[in-house]
Amino acid sequence: MDKLVKLLLVLVAISLTGCEDFLDAKPQKSLVIPNSLDDFQAILDAEPRYLNSAGSLALLGSDDMVLGPSLLTIMSPEERAVYFWEKEVYSQNDLVIDWTLNYQMIYYANLVLDGLKDFKPRNETERLRALELQGAAMFSRAFGHFSLMQVFAAPYDPEQTSLAAIPIRTSADLNLATGLSNTAEVYELIISDLDFASANLPDKQEILTRASKWSAEALLSRVYLVMQKYDEVFEHAGIALSIGNQLMNFNTLSSGNSYTFPRFNTEIIHQVNVVSTRITFNKEQFVHPALYDLYDSLDLRKTVLFDTARTAGYVNLVSRYSGDFYDFGGLAVDEVLLNRAEAAARIGEEDIALQDVNRLLSNRYIKNSFEELELSGSELMKRILAERRKELLFRGIRWMDLRRLNQDPVYAITLNRSYNESDATLLPKGSGYTIPIPPNEISLNPKLD
């Protein structure tokens, strides 16, 4: 374990170098090499070093929130630029935590995968455990690459998969420079990693920060939804729900209190928190009024999730699936259920779509007040999308949905910041939906230029 302690000190040092230095850091791997299964598990359990963190830019750029004037003054120039969908995002700092933390997650995953290549199991138990650790590392690598694609690559378009996207990293050797892979190549790796993870991980984990078949299938349903491959969404969401599909009944929860949901509540499939920024627990982070107005008086989400803000006319989000003040960025049953509902509606399985959305809403409305929906066709689809809007708020999922749905004129919308003194508009296919790769990373890696 002495080797592991030294290794973790090196990795912590890397993480503390800051966003602008991470991909340029070159740890001397020859000095400290993890070589036991316990070492590999410890690396994958490194939650304090962003192994279970999601970036904040997808949340910041969506229409889930409105930010007050005092909060806007303390945000970094880069955060303000993303919030107002400006073309020039970077100033003197070039600090983008979304880029850094996801490549850091990928780095740790590759460190484990590189080590496992040389590991020689002594018995069947070790062989199976090594496969499980390999699956867990591939899940993390897939999560990191997928998260990067939702921010730093153009929205997925099935007709334009040859577009340059992001660098793929499949080695922990930071001296190995990689250029931009195209969209098809990145998604091929993501799906391959998740397929392997699903085949080699246990159905569930007692520790929900660890990857499982459940989380791999849930993430596959999200990935295929972004790719608009609805048969595959239906299949993988169904597998995930066959492993676990329990929902919380909001009638049993208190209203308007912070931290209403316990950490690791019964719907959590994989625990991930959105990284903390200046906006995370600021009282001028308001719920967008148009979003709040979607909830009717019988919907318990209106009282469980929100409380009146200090600023007249606004409300704050006070209850998050993370179980504390962090926004939730992980995987949960409610999302997977809505993934399957939408996919089912799109492929002609409307009975299943209705069953899924009715089951969700029966656990969200005041007891005995909810009347089951009887919808079909476009009206059913509109209601499912509305429930995604109301159920999955402040998780970064709205950003993914906007990028996907804006390709269909029926569902495309124009966003605006009319609630702020500085007005801004984002058209359905506007450039603001893709954040440029940080210039500092391009200067450090000539293959990105």
Q: Is 51 exposed, middle or buried (0-12, 13-18, 19+ CB in 10 A)?
A: buried
Q: Which tens digits make up the pLDDT trace of 240-292?
A: 999 999 999 999 997 656 778 988 999 999 999 999 888 888 999 999 999 99
Query: For 87-120, what is each residue's pLDDT tens digit?
Result: 989 886 666 889 999 999 999 999 999 999 999 9
Q: Determine whether 43 is exposed, middle or buried from the number of CB atoms within 10 Å of its CB (0-12, 13-18, 19+).
A: buried
Q: What is the pLDDT of residues 385-419, one digit of tens each?
A: 999 999 999 999 999 999 999 999 999 999 999 88
Report pLDDT for 26.
Answer: 41
25 contacts 108 by C-beta, under 8 angstroms: no
CB 448 within 8 A of CB 166: no
Q: How many residues does the chain have?
A: 449
Per-residue pLDDT of 306-355, as tens digits, reads 999 999 999 999 999 998 889 999 999 999 999 999 999 999 999 999 99
The average confidence (pLDDT) of the chain is 90
Nearest to 28 by CA among 174, 132, 163, 200: 174
Tell me, what's the pLDDT at 45? 92
- Examine the pLDDT at 192 and tell me if it is beyond 90: yes
Residue 428 has pLDDT above 50, yes or no: yes
Q: What is the pLDDT of residue 256?
A: 58
With bands split at pLDDT 50, 70 and 90, how would you rate the model's confidence at 443?
Answer: confident
Q: What DSSP line would sit under 160-210, residue for residue?
A: -TTSEEEE----S-TT----EEEHHHHHHHHHHHHHHHHHHS-S--SSTTS
Question: Per-residue pLDDT for 9 more than 70?
Answer: no
User: Has residue 368 got a pLDDT over 90?
Assistant: yes
pLDDT at 442: 85
pTM of the model: 0.92
pLDDT at 367 over 90: yes
Q: Which domains does the chain have, with CATH numbers?
A: 2-250+328-448 (1.25.40.390)
* Model pLDDT, residue 372: 96
Percent of the chain at pLDDT > 70 equals 90
Residue 21 has pLDDT above 50, yes or no: no
